[in-house]
Amino acid sequence: MDLLNLAEQVVLWWMCYSCIGWVWETGLNLVLKHKWVDRGALNGPICPIYGNGALLVILLLHDVTNPVALFLGSGVIACTLEYVVSWQYERLFRIRLWDYTDKPFNVNGRVYLNGFLAFGAGATLIKLVVQPGLAHLTAAMPQPWLHIAAWGLLAVAFVDWLISTMGMADMDNRLARLGEDVKAGRLEAIDKANSDMAEANVRMEQRLAQAQRSARDRLDQARDRIDDAILDIRAVGRKGEAAALDRLTGEHVRRALSRQQIRLLRAFPSLRSSARRELTDRIHKLLER
């Protein structure tokens, strides 16, 4: 077997395991949440992290046959890969696609025990049961079909990866612009409160001028009204940003973000922007409706 032939087979293995990962993630979400959500990080029906993890186990543990050793080694490889990918996403795109902070036995919210167990068991099954049959199948493919399948699928995956990466890179900019809209909404709320206070003062003065009361009564009423208005303005200043986030609508989000970015937010309920966590929390609530 020449090197090119082996490389083309590896591409097919990677694509197969990436598709299996997508089916697993999407099917599990459907079973647990009774809701169809495309759980892939790319636009196509693949989860590359599963393909990468499977290949790493196959290549690095190729001579390991003991199930226990394979399970432990696979779990370590898979969790290391997941940790690195999570860190890279946050460093490059300023977003976390997943966050296990609230899970027991997690490491910086990027990996946790259940993932180790699931990936370890799944990779062990793949290495001992699935891979021998898949390798036999790809080795038996006629050369022309192997060339077409490997290079065709690789080209499609690369284009998908490029488009998806551009969308992720643009997400932080779009969230920043959406955050500016939220800030503008907060300032509008404060301006409205100031305007309301001014109108209240005018009405107060008119009533005081017409009222036939003592100077002390008029002064006390004015002082009480002004104190109440000041308290209202301070409350608006403290709650302005939360109020602005509450006024953010799903329609506004759909106008501000691309279809791919909205799909990612739906696919990863724990996706958060490093710089705009409250904003992404609000967007998730809107998209869940």
d(CA 31, CA 62): 33
* pLDDT, mean of residues 246-261: 77
Most confidently modeled of 61-65, 74-78, 102-106, 282-286?
A: 74-78
Q: Which of 18, 238, 182 is nearest to 26 (CA)?
A: 18
pLDDT at 185 over 70: no
pLDDT digits (tens, 9 = 90+) for 122-165: 999 999 999 999 999 999 999 899 999 999 999 999 999 998 88
**Angle CA 137–143–148, to nearest 5:** 95
pLDDT at 231 over 90: no
pLDDT at 238 over 60: no
pLDDT digits (tens, 9 = 90+) for 66-118: 999 999 999 999 999 999 999 998 888 888 888 898 888 899 989 999 989 99
Angle at which helices 259-267 and 143-210 cross, to 10°: 90
pLDDT at 187 over 50: no
Which of 12-21, 162-171, 227-236, 265-274 comes out lowest in average pLDDT? Answer: 227-236
pTM, 2 dp: 0.75
The set of residues, in sequence order, having a beta carbon less than 8 Å from that of 144 and lying 6+ positions away, is: none
